Chains A and B, each alone.
Chain A
Amino acid sequence: MADLSVNICGIDFKNPIIPASGVFGYGHEYEEFYSLSKLGGIATKGTTGKKRTGNIAPRIAETPAGMLNSVGLQNPGIDAFIEKELPYLLTKDTVILANIAGSTPEECAEVAAKLENTDVHMIELNISCPNVKQGGAAFGTSCVMAEQVTTAVRKATTKPLVVKLSPNVTSITDIAKAVEAAGADAVSLINTLLGMRIDIRTRRPVLHNNVGGLSGPAILPVAVRMIWQVANAVNIPVIGMGGVSTGEDAIELMMAGACAVQVGMACFTDPYAPVKIIDGMERFLDENNIAAARDIIGTVKPW
């Protein structure tokens, strides 16, 4: 039996599979299906300084081999997260990545500072949100803004800081290098790709927000490409995600350079997806006589 464990920024994961932020809530709903301790980790729903109500529905649209969402960071706010959700999650014998976001660098820093005195294992900073101080462009779309928000959060926390990159950029490697220089301990990618669908009968966008984030199998090749490019551009660990629904997909992201793999939309198709992906990875490694999952990280042999 292959060794599936990985270590990222000094944190031990029993396996590399982590349900992605926003698809798994705070875990409660999936405990009906299996024990959360089977998972390598859990990335919690993006949490902001204050409670947010999110966007008006419809928030979900189906797309070929994928979906769009415009949930809009609905969350109870960091205080409620720390008080009501985190203590419970920390009893689950799995690594907890607190995904955080905000409208200003100060808000992101404040949220990170509040987590400093908790036992949360890692902070995952989502920089795909609009920066209200800079006309609403996402932090993650410019090196300057990405660096500013990372610097602010870095000062506020001693926890391992994972910066989650947006794929809606011209050069993701430039952004990755900027956040590395600003003190990120790791990067995770990819967040959703901006998309849109129109109901041609009503001529209305399916999403009330008009546009939303694309995820699911459709984005897998984009994720593989970006992970490969970023892993070659930075010296910090890369956590990969985007369209993973099988053990083979997860292996592919790891060969591209990911040290761990998050699973998003696949949880909707099959709530057991994370567990089946872990089993599928193990089977692949055993069948190919590979002793440990960590041995395949970044082992793609480019032409």
Chain B
Amino acid sequence: MKYMQGSYPIVEKQAIAADTFSFTVRCPEVAALAKPGQFVHILPKGYGLRRPISIAGIDRATGTLRIVFAIRGKGTEALAQMNPGDDMDMIAPLGHGFTLLPEAQHVALVGGGIGVPPMLPLAKYYGERATAISGFRSFKQIILQEDFDALGAQAICCTEDGSAGAVKGFVTAPLEQLISEGLDAVYACGPMPMLRAVAEVCLRTGTWCEVSLEERMACGVGACLGCACRTKDANGEEQFLHVCKNGPVFKAEEVQW
């Protein structure tokens, strides 16, 4: 794995929903290496620990990466104060990304809330072979649906309260529908209850599935063993792997749900 630390200029900032921001950062060396599912580890000014944020866009032509994050605490609040021209201190690209399946005919990209952004690089790769199923609590949190359209993927938006989108309720209903019609792969990122439900559906139906997990991190590179995730090895024996290095993407059957 190859990664680097540097201060990279922000070239674009956009508020895309309440307390949710999209930043584009110029970092050609990182963009050249980055793969869908990897993340960047950003140092908010004045803090001791970095914040892991998924890569939401990779543009090798312009040498830029895009990230999308929600304000969840003091660190992300400090990051949201940054502006174009400021430098973002990050270690990147980190982690083991999604497995790309060149032969796949139809894949589902299941994102929940702030788990939707890492689905964008997959939508770029699969184009019209992808259906993005995004779940949000209500219309206020909806993000990135036009981006999926622009990349040629079909977008199905679900809200728990039915305030917007085609589906009222959870992402699993449209997912089960797609699986019954025939799906080659499911990729998922979002809150743990959603991932658990998605993994359950995929394991039950024998559908290939990868999930991107979250855990609190310190080093971000696999040295401190801080970001442990309970997994099973091939013999079903419990082992702790590390979200930053072995993940954040894991096979659904590897994880101890």
Say yes or no: is B77 at the interface (Cβ < 8 Å to chain A): no
User: Of the candidates B48, B221, B245, which one forms a contact with A65 in the assembled complex, judged by CB atoms under 8 Å apart?
Assistant: B48
Q: In the docked arrangement, what's the CA distance between A272 and B7, Å? A: 13
> Which residues of A, 21-65, contact B by the 8 Å Cβ criterion?
22-25, 28-30, 32-33, 45, 53-62, 65
> Which residues of B, 217-233, contact A by the 8 Å Cβ criterion?
217-230
Q: Select the stretch in A66-74, A94-102, A160-168 that faces chain B.
A: A66-74
Which residues in A have their C-beta under 8 angstroms from that of B4? 32-33
Say yes or no: is B43 at the interface (Cβ < 8 Å to chain A): yes
CB distance from B64 to the nearest CB of A (A): 22
Given contacts A54-B240, A216-B48, A268-B50, contact A59 B228 (CB under 8 A): yes
Contact A57 B91 (CB under 8 A): no
Say yes or no: is B49 at the interface (Cβ < 8 Å to chain A): yes
Q: In the docked arrangement, what's the CA distance between A274 and B54, Å? A: 27
Contact B219 A268 (CB under 8 A): yes
Nearest CB in chain B to that of A71: its residue:
B225
Say yes or no: is B239 at the interface (Cβ < 8 Å to chain A): yes
Contact A30 B225 (CB under 8 A): no
Q: In the docked arrangement, what's the CA distance between A303 and B208, Å? A: 70
User: What number of B residues sit within 8 Å (CB to CB) of A?
Assistant: 32
Query: From DSSP, what is the main secondary structure of chain B's interface residues?
Result: loop
Contact A30 B223 (CB under 8 A): yes
User: Of the candidates A23, A71, A265, which one forms a contact with B48 in the assembled complex, judged by CB atoms under 8 Å apart?
Assistant: A265
Which residues in A have their C-beta under 8 angstroms from that of B225? 22, 25, 45, 54, 59, 71, 74
Given contacts A67-B218, A268-B218, contact A24 B48 (CB under 8 A): no
CB distance from A223 to the nearest CB of B (A): 16
Nearest CB in chain B to that of A73: its residue:
B225
Q: What are 28 A-B contacts with C-beta separation under 8 Å? A: A24-B223, A25-B225, A28-B222, A29-B221, A29-B222, A32-B4, A32-B221, A53-B240, A54-B240, A56-B230, A58-B216, A60-B49, A60-B216, A61-B216, A62-B48, A62-B75, A66-B48, A67-B48, A67-B49, A69-B218, A69-B224, A71-B226, A216-B48, A217-B48, A265-B218, A268-B224, A271-B5, A272-B5
On A, residues with C-beta under 8 Å from B are 22-25, 28-30, 32-33, 45, 53-62, 65-67, 69, 71, 74, 206, 216-217, 265, 267-272
